[in-house]
Amino acid sequence: MIPDPPFALLVELTHRCPLQCPYCSNPLDMERAAGEMTTEEWCGVIRQAAGLGCMQIHFSGGEPTVRPDLEILVAEAAAAGLYTNLITSGVLCDRARLERLAAAGLEHVQLSFQGATAPIADRIAGYAGGHEKKLSFARDVRAAGLPLTANFVVHRQNAHQLDAMIDMAVEMAAERIEIANVQYYGWALKNRAALMPSRDQLNVMIESVSAARERLKGILAIDFVVPDYYARRPKPCMGGWGQRFLNISPSGKVLPCHAAESITTLAFDNVREKPLDDIWLNGPAFRAFRGTDWMPEPCRACDRKEIDWGGCRCQAFAITGDAAQTDPACALSKNHSRLVATALEDAQSGGEDFVYRNFRSAKALPGL
Ligand code: SF4
Ligand code: SF4
């Protein structure tokens, strides 16, 4: 299958971040600052992505504003005609810097929150004072005239604040709110017992979101991602592996999705060594699960195989140890009942302690 050009590029400029979210999508084996790509290398990648046909660039991390050259990279992307989005925790960027970023061509900001009140949000983030800083940053985004999306990752320990989160997003005049249940790989998998919501919590969340969508029609768009463990059919992860999306790690590894490194049986090409278009078209990691040829039964004979593309490869690997299995989130998978049993068990575990995402915890993890 020859793919279309990728629609979006997500660049993880750094894995450094002052927050320590226990569900962070960064790999357990985070990359150190010394290995990060230089300004010139990132600018080259941005030009290559635009040449390849990418439409959007998302500056992410870690915390992308840790990089002092972010303005240069935003300007490079804007000059190359890419739509520019900053995905940030908002705790390190003051108003003057935000204005410089807007002047460089930044078009949109996605700001993440860990809860609706400081005690809960700061405990989850492992960062005292973070929640207040985020609220102040949200005001700066609006003052700079930039559109704002508020991102909330929800789980057992903050699901009861969902209504308050939606009210917060309305108050800060966000255009959009993304409410995403935790996806369980990497750090989140390590913390699954402390994060998994119960079915009852999920039902309450679904009702809250549906009522809010009705109430806020025309004011605020709400995206809601349900937890895979309670789903009947998987999501079309990344719009299909290697079909719409590219992710680049701080040291230049090119990944089909931000969690792909959790699949330890795959090797990833590096943009420092090969051109981006070659990696996109021919990279073994991209070709491994692109299209439908790789699929096992029941996907191979299923009429949804070009709708959900067999679901999430990282989840298949996390649960079965084989990334080429049907996503266990699918009720047709032979591993589905095991997934549901795990979810119910974790939801009732009552454990509240987190393995925080930081270099110290990573060092203590077996195998790292
Ligand atoms: S999820 Fe949390 S710890 Fe991870 S990069 Fe985002 S703000 Fe930092
Ligand atoms: S069997 Fe495969 S293609 Fe069919 S719904 Fe399940 S995951 Fe999707």
> What is the DSSP code string of 228-250?
GGG-SS---GGGSTTTSEEEE-T
Return the pLDDT at 351.
86
Residue of the CA atom closest to atom 8 of ligand 2: 310
**Please, are residues 134 and 91 in contact by the beta-carbon 8 Å criterion?**
yes
Is the C-beta atom of 21 inside 6 A of ligand 1?
A: yes
Instruction: Report how far ligand 1's centroid is from the alpha carbon of 261 (Å).
Output: 17
Q: Single out the residue of 204, 154, 203, 202 nearest to residue 179, CA to CA.
A: 154
Is the C-beta atom of 112 inside 6 A of ligand 1?
A: yes
pTM summary value? 0.95
Measured from the Cα of 112, ligand 1's closest atom is 7
Return the pLDDT at 170.
96
**CA 227 – CA 202 distance, rounded (Å):** 8
Closest ligand by atom to 134 CA = 1
Quote the radius of gyration of the chain (alpha carbons, Å). 20
Helix (H), strand (E) at residue 83:
strand 83-88
Closest ligand by atom to 316 CA = 2
Distances (CA, A) of 178 to 130, 148, 152, 154, 245: 19, 11, 6, 10, 19
Measured from the Cα of 187, ligand 1's closest atom is 4
Please list, residue by residue across 230-250, b when 16 or more beta carbons sit within 10 angstroms of its beta carbon and e when fewer do. Answer: bbebbbbbbebbbbbbbbbbb
Return the pLDDT at 227.
85
Which residues of the chain fall short of a pLDDT of 70? 367-368
Return the pLDDT at 277.
97
Return the pLDDT at 368.
62
Return the pLDDT at 367.
63
Measured from the Cα of 60, ligand 1's closest atom is 5
**CA 189 – CA 42 distance, rounded (Å):** 30
149, two tokens = 């999306």
* Residues forming a β-bridge with 8: 56, 245
Distances (CA, A) of 228 to 19, 158, 263: 25, 18, 18
Closest ligand by atom to 23 CA = 1
Is the C-beta atom of 312 inside 6 A of ligand 2?
A: no
